[in-house]
Copies of this chain bind each other. A is one copy, B any other.
Amino acid sequence: MFNQESFRLGATGSAIRELFEYGKKRKQEIGEDNVFDFSIGNPSVPSPDIVKNTLIYLLQNTEATKLHGYTSASGDNGVKKAIADYLNQKYDVKIKDSLIYLTCGAAASLTISLKALLNQDEEVIVFAPFFPEYKVFTENALGKLVVVGYDDKFLPDFCDFEKKISNKTKCVIINSPNNPTGVVYSEDIIKKLVSILKKKEDEYQHSIYLISDEPYRELVYGNVTVPFVTKYYDNTIICYSFSKSLSLPGERIGYILVNPNCLHSNEVFKCICGAGRSMGFICAPSIFQYLIPSCLGLTSDLKVYEENRNILYKELTSYGYDVIKPEGAFYLFVKALDEDAVKFSEYAKKYELLLVPSDSFGCGGYLRISYCVSKKQIVNSLPAFKKLIEEYRK
């Protein structure tokens, strides 16, 4: 028969995408405005105008065969240089354009990086709660996922981390600002994490790669800053996507960046080229490559997300929900009123609230609310949230 693992992955779908599909169907049944779909991280704030203007400019002023033609498999050199220059100036680092690989978004960045590094049965450490597809992507590269626990602030449980690093550990994935909690790792947290990694590299006498999954790097609120990880740890690979910062999730554009200080950085980059090649990722969508130099460092209007966060946090707290205040990304992690988050997510559907249960994120008992939706949806959903807690507590 056909491949059973592919069948399983296709038949079950991801919990997020299942709920997203349910929401689309439900909206057709009872109307767009009557479904409070908080399932998916599909940005609700339009791309900044420069995206549209640059794309139209490129279409009107670039020879079509160049604009839509193949670039090098790893991307256009000019674009890679622009990215390196931007990062070097902004973060005071020495990124090399020759170690940047343009990809079809964050998912591709991760599958490529993992396939580049992993040998069969090697281990990838992630910190719960984590983006569920990390498991799928790790297994695609024939690796094994190892899950580390969290403390009361949803930060890594470092004791557990130390225990779980083994001779088979090849990579550690971090994701800050975090999906699904909105937590941002401070410089102290990064330093603590890195000190353990270095100790374990010495102990086991081999490299452990830190893969920093950063689609939300620019999405932070207030004075929160996101440390640039290559400054703290040499064997770092950054997986970036423009999906969230520029509200372009459907267009699939991002990059992988190997820290020039990484041991054997050129060889690691070759592995990335080879892994991309083997899965058929050659040349990220070209017009979106050429868009990047005009948009580096820009974001959609983050105030909208911040306002959504503030309303939701304030109101849900006042109704009696137990909520973590997010410092970044556009997710709110709220404690389920039932120990069984899946059951509670089902129950919430009665109020047309689509909330992703936390089980597939590697921790039970919570729900993820993607608040990258219209303010109107936030405001209109509040009575439903109120009713939900009141009814459920009866």
Contact = CB atoms under 8 A, between A and B. Distances in A.
For the complex of A and B, list the 9 residue pairs with the smallest distance between their C-beta atoms, beginning with the closest. Answer: A250-B286, A10-B274, A9-B274, A107-B280, A10-B273, A10-B270, A46-B64, A111-B280, A6-B274
A140 interface: yes
Contact of A9 (B11, B248, B277): B277
Copies of this chain, tallied across the complex: 2
A10 B275 contact: yes
B107 A10 contact: no
Interface string A288-305: 110000000000000000
A287 interface: yes
A110 B282 CA distance: 13
Interface string A1-25: 1111111111101100100110010
A236 interface: no
A119 interface: yes
A284 interface: yes
Contacts of A264: 2
B55 A59 contact: yes
Interface residues of A, number: 89
A47 B251 CA distance: 20
A5 B250 contact: no
6 contacts: A2-B268, A5-B278, A10-B275, A17-B282, A70-B249, A140-B279
A198 to B, nearest CB: 19
Contacts of A284: 252
A10 B271 contact: yes
A182 interface: no
A223 interface: no
Contacts of A107: 280-282
A143 to B, nearest CB: 10
Interface in A195-237: 206
Nearest to A136: B278
Tell me which of A17, A111, A280 has the highest count of chain B C-beta atoms within 10 A of its own C-beta: A280
Contacts of A11: 267, 270, 274
